[in-house]
Amino acid sequence: MHFLVQTKPFPDEALESYLLRLARNNSYHGYSELADILWQWLAEQDHELEGALPLELNKVDVYHARQASSFRIRALKLVAQLADVNAGDILELACRRSNFKFGNLAAVSRNELTIPLELLRTENIPVCIECLSESSYIPFYWHLKPYKACHKHKTQLTTQCGECHNLIDYRASEALLECGCSCKLTCSEQLNDADFKIASALVSNNSQKIAGLISWFAKVKQLDVGDADFNRAFVDYFSTWPDGFTAELDLLTNNARLKQLNPLNKTKLNSVYADLIRDAQRAATSNRKNIVLDEIINYFVELVDSNPKSKHPNIADLLLCTFDTAVLLNTTTEQVYRLHQEGFLNCAYPQKKHEQLRADSHVFYLRQVFELQQAFAAERPQTKKQFIAPW
């Protein structure tokens, strides 16, 4: 078996788009017909590859495969041989699972771009009519939820069919310029400036930075990235960064002073600032830069400096859990245990014999953690710190 028409992938093309073009260029009705033939052929070549390529176009990307991802890669390499193209060129189109985490969020990587999995569209894929008129393929960034306007033509992406009003998804219709109802797609929406700014950022060198920030902002503001006004809220918030963020932290600090029920040296940091530190990890980038966490650290350093140790506990004596301590010190929880055992960090209460500190144990003073944090020089590039050598 060999494809008669060679189809070269575009560098920014989505994997689903390439496979659909490959099928159409070789006279198949669509991917589903090609997939049915490939299913049988792959099984004949290698019995382990039976079912390695799904029949549904919206499930074909590598990150969907999970445990069978290695078989999906092997199958795509064989498809590359049939198409007489470099296997690496096709694999670069795929979204693959990443070991990097945006806080507790799973991530996927495509070439050098790593983004939270939750930012990938699942229900529909909007399109730019002008782009498709020039080149009949779907760029990968149309699959990103925050990408809502075309950065090339400065137009809004078309989301719904003008006739049936159904959401557009080329993976379901297996057509690029037509809806599933066979009506031709048209664009009528007016350009949203915020959408254009976000789209331009997502395809620039700042794409790593902005993806994590979008995920963090959606979480802390309880917003849906897919909402029509999300990008406007995001742009407005970060246009005054970090002033608005600092004001929010000041409000929480003042409320803690006014409404305290327990002494501040017996009050958990999370009861004042909620999941501030844990949520901030969503704003990370794959090179470990995090402007949200940097601002949090700067804020707490100033808070500790302006509230020196005194006879009566103050706001700088709040209790941190082991996990948050590790995040602020840019190290691991194992290193935090060592720091405690070696006397660098004091426990807020006497430990029982053989008692193990849990990650959620609020036992370390905010003041002492930041004094220790300042005692070690910052590293460039940023890596996980090791304060004490392993045993």
Looking at residues 362-366, what average pLDDT do you find? 94
Q: Domain limits at 59? A: 15-94
Q: List the beta bridge partners of residue 325.
A: none
* Single-letter residue type at 78: L
Give the model confidence (pLDDT) of 144-189 as tens digits.
Answer: 999 999 999 999 999 988 778 889 999 998 988 887 787 887 876 7
In terms of domains, do 226 and 291 share one? Answer: no
Query: Looking at the chain, which runs of residues are DSSP E strands?
Result: 96-102, 105-110, 113-116, 149-150, 155-156, 319-321, 362-365
Separation CA 168–CA 181 (nearest Å): 10
Residues 353 and 275 grouped into a single domain: yes
> What would the two tokens of residue 276 be?
């501030």
| pLDDT of 361 higher than 60 | yes
If asked whether residues 262 and 358 sit together in one domain, one would say yes
Structure tokens at 222: 């309880």
pLDDT at 388: 67
**Listed residues 208, 237, 266: the one ending a domain:** 237
The SS3 of residue 192 is coil
Confidence of residue 234 (pLDDT cuts 50, 70, 90): very high
Into how many domains does the chain fold? Answer: 3
Residue 150's φ and ψ, nearest 5 degrees, are -80, 125
Instruction: Write down the pLDDT at residue 175.
Output: 87
User: HSE-up of 238 (CA within 13 Å, CB side)?
Assistant: 19
Closest CA to 136 of 12, 21, 19, 26: 21
Residue pair 149/191 in contact (Cβ under 8 Å)? The answer is yes
Residues 164 and 274 in one domain: no
Same domain, 190 and 216: yes
pLDDT at 383: 63
Between these two residues, 341 and 250, which has the higher pLDDT value?
Answer: 250
Pair (146, 214) in one structural domain: yes
Is residue 85 included in any domain, yes or no?
yes
Is the pLDDT score of 89 beyond 60? yes
258 and 205 housed in the same domain: no
pLDDT at position 80 is 92
Whether 123 contacts 168, CB under 8 Å: no
Using the predicted structure, report yes or no on whether residue 391 has a pLDDT greater than 70. Answer: no
pLDDT band, residue 4 (cuts 50/70/90): confident
One domain, residues 89 and 164: no
Nearest to 278 by CA among 373, 163, 359, 170: 359
Task: Tell how strand 96-102 and strand 105-110 pair up.
Answer: antiparallel
In a domain, 361, yes or no: yes
Res 381 pLDDT > 60: no
Q: pLDDT tens across 250-300, in order?
A: 999 999 988 887 899 999 999 999 999 999 999 988 777 899 999 999 999
Average pLDDT over residues 26-43: 88
**Is there a cis peptide before residue 313, judged by omega within 30 degrees of 0?**
no
- The answer to whether 176 and 132 are in contact (CB under 8 A) is yes
Q: Identify whether the C-beta of residue 121 lies closer than 8 Å to the C-beta of residue 146.
A: no
Position 390 pLDDT exceeds 60: no
In a domain, 7, yes or no: no
Residue type, 266: K
Q: How far is CA 198 from CA 109, 157, 242, in A?
A: 19, 13, 19
Output the CA torsion 340→345→350→353 (10° steps): 10
Does residue 22 have a pLDDT over 90?
A: yes
Distance CA 356, CA 108 (A): 35
Whole-number pLDDT of residue 189: 78
Structure confidence by residue, pLDDT tens digits, 101-110: 898 899 999 9
Number of neighbouring beta carbons within 10 Å of residue 374: 13
Domain-embedded: residue 71: yes
Chain centroid to CA 155: how far? 25
Report pLDDT for 163.
79
Across the strands, what pairs with 144?
A: 120
Mean pLDDT for all residues in the chain? 89
